[in-house]
């Protein structure tokens, strides 16, 4: 497999996994089923 094709395939699977995680977690975050208020996370400004 060419390097570009390999990168493309890896990116496809990473994006699919991220979409799945988003689709599973976002409704639970919005509904309050998952509480993240106690997490020690530093938000970065873009």
Tell me the per-residue pLDDT of 11-43, one tens digit each, with 9 for 90 and over: 999 999 999 999 999 999 999 999 998 888 887
pLDDT of residue 40: 87
Q: Are 28 and 34 in contact (CB under 8 A)?
A: yes
Q: Are 27 and 21 in contact (CB under 8 A)?
A: no
Domain range for 11 is: 1-30
Q: How many domains does the chain have?
A: 1
38 domain residue, yes or no: no
pTM of the full predicted structure? Answer: 0.70
5 domain residue, yes or no: yes
6 domain residue, yes or no: yes
46 domain residue, yes or no: no
pLDDT of residue 42: 83
Residue 30 to residue 17: CA distance in whole angstroms: 20
Does residue 46 register a pLDDT over 80? no
**DSSP string covering 11-46:** HHHHHHHHHHHHHHHHHHHHHTSS--TT---PPPP-
């Amino acid at each position: 497999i060419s390097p570009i094709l390999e990168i493309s395939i890896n990116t496809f699977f990473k994006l699919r996994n991220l979409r799945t995680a988003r689709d599973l977690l976002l409704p639970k975050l919005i509904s309050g089923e998952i509480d993240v208020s106690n997490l020690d996370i530093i938000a970065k400004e873009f």
